[in-house]
Structure 1
Amino acid sequence: MKQIADQTVLVTGAGRGLGAAIARAFARQGARVAVNYRHSQDAAEALCAEIGPRAQAFQADVTDRAAVAAMVAQITEAMGAPDVLVHNALADFQFNGDARKGLETLDWADMAAQAQVSVGGALNLIAAARPHFAASGFGRVITIGTNLVQNPVVPYHDYTAAKAALMALTRTASRDLGPLGVTVNMVAGGLLRTTDASAATPEAVFDLIAGQTPLGHVTTPAEMADAVLFFASPWARAVTGQTLIVDGGLVCG
């Protein structure tokens, strides 16, 4: 059973925001961290410089299967085959309820764009890493979801539908990959204080959520990142196909 310090971890969309917090969390535990980015090269390279020599940046669009396969091959050569996949990459999105599209203006292209990154990206990552998982008899796949599936207080239809589909894939993939020694789980967060995606959220909304949350504050990226570590650790070795909601107790699963 691999400890986190023995793992090579690929975090998608890790140049900034929650992905960067997840990369930092794994690095603090001694893991080798592959920081994936699509466009945020400067941010990804700055993060790797901050973390140190155990982190390297790798460019790939997760919706491009060939690019993902090439990235995994590059990571394997540079750092060792990925033991852990953290699928955090998000299609361009702003959490601003006042500016969201309603059902009357939303079309399938909006839905498809979110699903292509959330679900398509997960499929591409699993396909690229599966031979390595099979060879080693070990793997961890951790997807990032949202508590809006359980509590759609703000109807971000396209984003939430894609994350619900990703949650279903997390469940079904756990059955398929389990015989290889691979667990597949989701960490579902609420609004985070603060990332680039949530920067457009009015301050009054943060305060409202904090007031309704048992812990009395809005979850931070660092707090959510720590929960991701659990699923990569030996303590979660018998947990798979699950969704853990990390939002300070605001929503019950």
Structure 2
Amino acid sequence: MRIDEQVVLVTGAGRGLGAAIATAFGRAGARVMVNYRRSAEAAAAVAAPFGNRAAAVQADVTDAAAVSTMLGEAEKHFGTSVTTVVHNALSDFRFNGDARPKIGEIAWTDFAPQLEVSLHGALNLIQAAAPAMAARGFGRIVTIGTNLFQNPVVPYHDYTAAEAALISLTRTAAADLGPQGITVNMLSGGLLRTTDASSATPEAVFDIIAQSTPLRRVTTPEEFADAVLFFASPWSRAVTGQNLVVDGGLVRD
């Protein structure tokens, strides 16, 4: 199915990387549901340029009933079910390694919010979206991860552990759903220039990362978003259970 024939749900799309992903799909002609938890005005602004081909919808991805309702609203708005889900929602987090607790300081309770959004949120989305995808014989599920579990240069223990769990769910879901025509893949990024989450990162860190990549620059949200479209496109129809690292060549998986 071509991208301009798809109905795409992007979670956490009111700002940052999610907004860039939703915008990229909208520009490619897809119908897009822009999910948000609290950023209502920002999500509406992301959807606005695409007229009736996009809409903002509020839901907390950790609430299975809210996710199911959100998918129903998408089908009602567009007249057909969601074909493509991008799980980008992120628990409240600031990418500043100097301010993060070290392994001797972090508490187990710090892991729960990350696991709830990354892992539980993904499970809710997959379980809610997969039946309609299977009935159609086509579905694309894309999760958003991090290169930090391959290159743990900063002590984001809770965030990194949750994203590592998410890649495992991505791969087991791919094996389970593949016979129904549904692919499940992950894209993993590094530090992006610049989102709300990375705004607390010192400029010196951006400079170090830029000099460590073959491209000699830090990846932008827009560049990352373009790579997401690959996993929704016909060119990736034989690709599933994979993790594509999009960080300018910093990490080679």
**TM-score interval, smaller chain:** over 0.9
The residue aligned with 2:245 is: 245
Matched, 1:6 2:12: no
Give the number of aligned pairs: 252
Q: Which amino acid aligns with 1:146?
A: T
Matched, 1:71 2:70: yes
Residues 208-234 of structure 1: CA deviation (Å, up to 9, x unaligned): 100111001000000000000000000
Greater CA drift, 105-114 or 210-219: 105-114
- Residue correspondence of structure 1 range 198-237 to structure 2 within 5 A: 198-237=198-237
Greater CA drift, 140-149 or 100-109: 100-109
Matched, 1:62 2:58: no
Q: Distance in 1 between matches of 2:172 and 2:204?
A: 38
1:145 partner SS = strand
1:167 partner SS = helix
CA positional deviation for 1:51: 3.2
Residues 36-89 of structure 1: CA deviation (Å, up to 9, x unaligned): 000000100111113332110010000000000011111111112110000000
Q: Which amino acid aligns with 1:77?
A: K
- Residue correspondence of structure 1 range 79-118 to structure 2 within 5 A: 79=78, 80-118=80-118
| Contact 2:142 2:228 (8 Å CA) reproduced | yes
Task: Could you list the structure 1 runs, at least 4 aligned residues long, displaced by more than 6 angstroms after superposition.
Answer: none
Q: Which amino acid aligns with 1:210?
A: A
Q: Distance in 1 between matches of 2:76 and 2:153?
A: 45
The residue aligned with 2:18 is: 19
The residue aligned with 2:176 is: 176
Matched, 1:46 2:42: no
Q: Which amino acid aligns with 2:245?
A: I
Q: Distance in 2 between matches of 1:104 and 1:67?
A: 37
Give unmatched runs, 5+ long, in structure 2.
none
> Normalising to structure 2: TM-score of the pair?
0.98
Q: Distance in 1 between matches of 2:51 and 2:196?
A: 24
> Normalising to structure 1: TM-score of the pair?
0.98
| Contact 2:9 2:82 (8 Å CA) reproduced | yes
2:188 partner SS = strand
Q: Distance in 1 between matches of 2:180 and 2:122?
A: 17
Identity score, percent: 67
Q: RMSD across aligned C-alpha pairs, in angstroms?
A: 0.7
CA positional deviation for 1:112: 1.3
Q: Distance in 2 between matches of 1:168 and 1:155?
A: 21
| Contact 2:103 2:155 (8 Å CA) reproduced | no
2:29 partner SS = coil
